[in-house]
Amino acid sequence: MAGRPAAGRGGGLTGLHYGWITYVILFVLVLAGFIWVFTMLKGYQDEAAKATRRLDQMGTPPAYYVEEANSRGSTVATVMDEHLRSYASLVTGDPEAVWPAVEQAADAQLARTAAAHAGTLNPGDTLLTAVQRLDEGLSKAKLTNAGLLRELQVVQDENQSLEEGIKGAQDQFEAQVAALSERVAQLDREKTDALTAKDEQLNDLRATLEDNTQETNRLKQEWVSQRRNRDLEIGRLQTHVSELQKKMQALKPTALDPAAILTKADGRIVRAIPGSDVVYINLGSNDKIKPGMGFEVFSQTHEPREGLRGKASIEVATVMQNTAECRVTRATPGEPIVEDDVCVNIAYERGRLPKFVVRGEFDLNYDGTVDFDGIERVTGIIKQWGGQVVPELDETVDFVVIGARPQAREIAPGERVSAVVEALAEDKRLARAQFGQLVDRATAMYIPVITQNQFLFLTGYVGDWSSLSR
């Protein structure tokens, strides 16, 4: 019996075995691939879930940012971040500032600007609204300033014209006085020459007096006629000089005229509320008005009053740009303050600093005792209200404010006093003499001389210690 081939009996791997091994290997590879794919899919699902949550948190951006990102080929977040940085830089100047800082800076600046420009801005305004209102306010201020500059130029031109007119009148007066002086000197020379000639003639005639009596009488008559004519000419010249002095006095009055003060009113009442102690005047910070400044109020009809007191006194409380709110510190029953009433402060004048000279002894609290610092207090009032005090009197001075004449102690003959007391007494005597000379010079120069009471009235003080100490 024939057997199997030797190769077949050895127990080696057959094709079926190789097929099963291949199947197992492929199965394991497929299983591993499936597991790997499942794991990757799980990771993608987690990432997708996270992205969905982030999108839900961010919300849906405006279509503008989506379109802008698409047109740039960028992301919505990048475009929005760029715009936020631009907003921060525009508002605060710092592109890194976040929204709370930007909002806080904008609110703080708006609050400060609204406080500084009350009535123009409100704390709740937006930045663009604030800028627009400030621009409008600036434009109005420029127009107002332009108008004030034009008014100032007109006033300056008028002042220059008046100064030229006064200078011309003064030059003419001086020329006439010089001509009159020359004429008087000429007449004096003629008189001297005539008298000399007469003396010579008399000396000659004495030798032949009897023969020349008629000639002597004729010469005497000529001399009398010449003297009469000369006296008439001197009288005419003196009358002409007196007329010229009256004209100069009319140009610059010698006394303080209340009517003249009213015609040069510093301001007017623009609003008066019946029954209220608050009024408004047409003077403000542009006119150098300050809180605490006082004014006397007069009727626009310029009704005659006793003394220099107005019908009311007011004090500046709040100052705006072109107006000021004032409180009424004194009123006259039956004479209410009305619109268009004029207000006056002698130490204040628009566009210039009035000049004052202050002399004498002052009793500002009316206690019967001279105040050691009376001149300093009056000087302080003048400077506070816009005037200036000069040490000496000249033609540019507007007013002379005087107190009581300085009192000098009389040292009895033989009385022994110290050198200090004697020096003080001498200073007082000198001050008293200079006081009188100053008043006489001011009167001769047609400069108004006002007393303590008149000065206090015309600067808005009632003249007692309480009002002067405010």
What are the sequence ranges of the domains in the chain?
63-106, 162-251, 255-345, 353-470
Q: What is the pTM of this model?
A: 0.41
In angstroms, the CA 166 to CA 466 distance is: 43
Low-confidence ranges of the chain (pLDDT < 70): 1-12, 51, 54-59, 123, 212, 216, 238, 240-264, 301-308, 408-412, 414, 417, 460-470
Residue 261 backbone zone (phi > 0: left; psi -120 to 50: alpha; other: beta) = alpha
In angstroms, the CA 42 to CA 49 distance is: 11
Residues 6+ apart with CB under 8 A from 395: 445
Main-chain dihedrals φ then ψ at residue 289, nearest 5 degrees:
-85, 140
Q: What's the fold here for domain 353-470?
A: Rossmann fold (3.40.50)
User: Which residue, chain included where needed, has tokens 């982030």?
Assistant: 54
3-state SS track over the chain: CCCCCHHHHCCCCCHHHHHHHHHHHHHHHHHHHHHHHHHHHHHHHHHHHHHHHHHHHHCCCCHHHHHHHHHHCCCHHHHHHHHHHHHHHHHHCCCCCCHHHHHHHHHHHHHHHHHHCECCECCCCCHHHHHHHHHHHHHHHHHHHHHHHHHHHHHHHHHHHHHHHHHHHHHHHHHHHHHHHHHHHHHHHHHHHHHHHHHHHHHHHHHCCCCCHHHHHHHHHHHHHHHHHHHHHHHHHHHHHHHHHHHHHHHCCCCCCHHHHHHCCCEEEEEECCCCCEEEECCCHHHCCCCCCEEEEECCCCCCCCCCCCCEEEEEEEECCCCEEEEEEEEECCECCCCCCEEECCCCCCCCCCEEEEECECCCCCCCCCCCCHHHHHHHHHHHCCCEECCCCCCCCCEEEECECCCCCCCCCCCCCCHHHHHHHHHHHHHHHHHHHHHHHHHHCCCCEECHHHHHHHCCCCCCHHHHCC
**What tokens does 96 get?**
């890194």
In angstroms, the CA 71 to CA 190 distance is: 115
pLDDT of residue 36: 82
C-alpha dihedral, 186 to 192 to 197 to 203, nearest 10°? 180
Q: How many CB atoms lie within 10 A of CB 75?
A: 12
**What tokens does 229 get?**
């004519």
pLDDT of residue 305: 57
pLDDT of residue 379: 92
Whether the Cβ atoms of residue 87 and residue 97 lie closer than 8 Å to each other? no
CA pseudo-torsion sign 360, 365, 370, 373? negative
How many angstroms from the chain centroid is the CA of residue 4?
A: 137
pLDDT of residue 270: 94
CATH code given to domain 255-345: 2.40.10.410
In angstroms, the CA 183 to CA 389 distance is: 42
CA atoms within 13 A on the CB side of 223: 17
AA identity, residue 251:
L
Residues 6+ apart with CB under 8 A from 286: 144, 148, 321, 322
CA pseudo-torsion sign 459, 463, 467, 470? positive
In angstroms, the CA 468 to CA 470 distance is: 6
- Cβ-in-10-Å burial (0-12, 13-18, 19+) of 442 comes to buried
CA pseudo-torsion sign 430, 433, 439, 443? negative
In angstroms, the CA 188 to CA 283 distance is: 61
In angstroms, the CA 402 to CA 360 distance is: 5
User: Which residue, chain included where needed, has tokens 């004014």?
Assistant: 295
Condensed to tens digits (0 to 9), the pLDDT of residues 42-97 reads 777 777 777 677 666 666 778 877 787 788 888 877 877 787 788 777 777 778 77
Going by C-alpha positions, the residue among 299, 296, 267 that lies closest to residue 284 is: 267
Q: How many CB atoms lie within 10 A of CB 391?
A: 6
Main-chain dihedrals φ then ψ at residue 334, nearest 5 degrees:
80, 0
